[in-house]
Structure 1
Amino acid sequence: MAETEPREGRLAAGLPAVAAGAVYGWAHWCFAGPAPPPTAVAWVGAVVLLVAACAGYVVAVGGSGSVFGGLLLAVGLLLTVAAADQTASRAESATCVVREVERRLQSSSGEGAPPAKTVYRLALDCPGGYPDELKDDRAVAEAGQEVRVAYDPRRRASPALEGTASPWRAVVWAVLLLAVSTVIAGRRGARDPERPAPDGRRPR
């Protein structure tokens, strides 16, 4: 038992990195691959990977810490998808008129997660009808103003204000949250020396 627990702890601690690699690989293929899956398949695949990773984490880690660590893992994996989206190519650009601006408060997912922020959704009128909206965490323009928008003509990556698409913010937060979930997982199997093992015997 004493030998298997550290091994199980190491396996659990490696799960966030493996999950992040799998999610990023899937998202990168969906956003930038030469032959990506249909949109519905891409979303279903992402949800399956996310749920499987979090469920596997909770089972492998166990205890109350697994729920908190699983939440951090989920947010970290969502940010991993966001990073993949920001690295995707947006080969075209257009000058669009802002038709309407909506503001929505995006609450924090809990302690250790990114803080609450205001998300702005700009409804756009662009030549050809696409893109038709732009989301940003800054008020980049008001209704009636023009903005220059970079977009993927294949409509796989989300539009972004020209010159601003950068994955680094998402990468930093993803690495931080995944690191904390890894630390929580790495403590799996650690017991008080005086606490009996599950078979009722005390450690020697």
Structure 2
Amino acid sequence: MPGTDRLVRGLGTAALPALAAAAVYGWTAWCFGSSAAPSDTVAVAVGAVLLLGACSGYFALVGGTGGFFGALLLSLGLLLTVTAADQAASRPAVAACAVREVRTKAEDSAGEGSPPTRTVYRLLLDCPGGYPAELKEGRAVAGKGDTVRVAYDPRRRISPELEGRTKPWTAGLWAVPLLALSATIAWLKRGPSGRYED
């Protein structure tokens, strides 16, 4: 039945963002947390294939301007999904580190109406065992000579963070509406003939 086929295809395409996010999150979490995880090169290559494949498939199924903007929203949602997986990854070791030096760098945004200049604080650390050697923050968290507690992964698969700083739900909360909007565009673009139309 044409109507049933159209409904199934519409549901399948609208479900693509959620399925892609689950696949990307699962792959990223496994790469960060598993003792049998692949090398960084393989992890990044497979992650890129998942992300590009999902966005290309979405655009091919939906097409037109809706497909372009939906794929763009999908890519942003998937990148935030990777960020959420990174922030949720276990950093089981904690070290009390002395701040040897603090370097700041202003990062300008290009274009009119762009966000204001952002300052990145790079803390050079003296930690027991020599790792981690540095920590990057978006705000001033300590000065030279201070001691900070840093949570890190001894296998060095994920970047260190201040102890208690990681909040994976923040990136997840941003990812959900982007993925939902991408799914909504896919659902609304269904044409009466069963083909996606502008």
Matches within 5 A, 1:94-133: 94-96=95-97, 97=99, 99-105=101-107, 118=118, 120-127=120-127, 128-133=129-134
RMSD: 2.6
Contact 1:119 1:138 in 2 (8 A): yes
**Residue 66 (1) aligns with residue 67 (2):** yes
- Quote the Cα distance in structure 2 between the aligned partners of 1:82 and 1:130: 22
Q: 1:123 Cα shift?
A: 3.8
Do 1:80 and 1:171's aligned partners in 2 also have CA atoms closer than 8 Å? yes
Are the aligned partners of 1:12 and 1:186 in contact in 2 as well (CA < 8 Å)? yes
| Cα pair distance change 1:131/1:11, threshold 3 Å | same
Work out the CA distance in 2 between the residues paired with 1:16 and 1:84.
16
CA distance in 2: counterparts of 1:117 and 1:5, whole angstroms: 48
2: CA distance between counterparts of 1:107 and 1:180?
26
Cα distance per residue 1:67-90 (max 9 Å; x no partner)? 111111111111111111111111
Q: Which blocks of at least 5 consecutive residues in structure 2 are unaligned?
A: none
Could you tell me the percent identity over the aligned residues?
Answer: 49
Name the aligned partner's letter for residue 190 of structure 2: G
Mapping for residues 22-171 of structure 1, pairs under 5 Å? 22-96=23-97, 97=99, 99-105=101-107, 118=118, 120-127=120-127, 128-171=129-172
Contact 1:32 1:88 in 2 (8 A): yes
Structure 1 outlier segments of 4+, above 6 Å: none
Q: Which moved more, 1:91-100 or 1:6-15?
A: 91-100
Q: What code does the residue aligned with 1:175 have?
A: V
**Distance in 1 between residues matched to 2:75 and 2:108, nearest whole Å:** 16
User: Normalising by structure 1, what TM-score?
Assistant: 0.81
In structure 2, the residue corresponding to 1:134 is in which secondary structure? Answer: strand
Stretches of structure 1 lacking an aligned partner (at least 5 in a row): 109-114, 192-196, 200-204
Contact 2:10–2:187 (8 Å) recurs in 1 = yes
Taking the aligned partners of 1:116 and 1:34, their CA distance within structure 2 comes to 41
Q: Secondary structure at the match of 1:99?
A: strand
- Asked if structure 2 preserves the Cα contact closer than 8 Å seen for 1:98 and 1:147, the reply is no
User: Is residue 150–residue 162 contact of structure 2 (8 Å, CA) maintained in 1?
Assistant: yes
Is 1:5 the counterpart of 2:23? The answer is no
Higher relative helix content: 2
TM-score by length of 2: 0.83
The number of aligned residues is 188
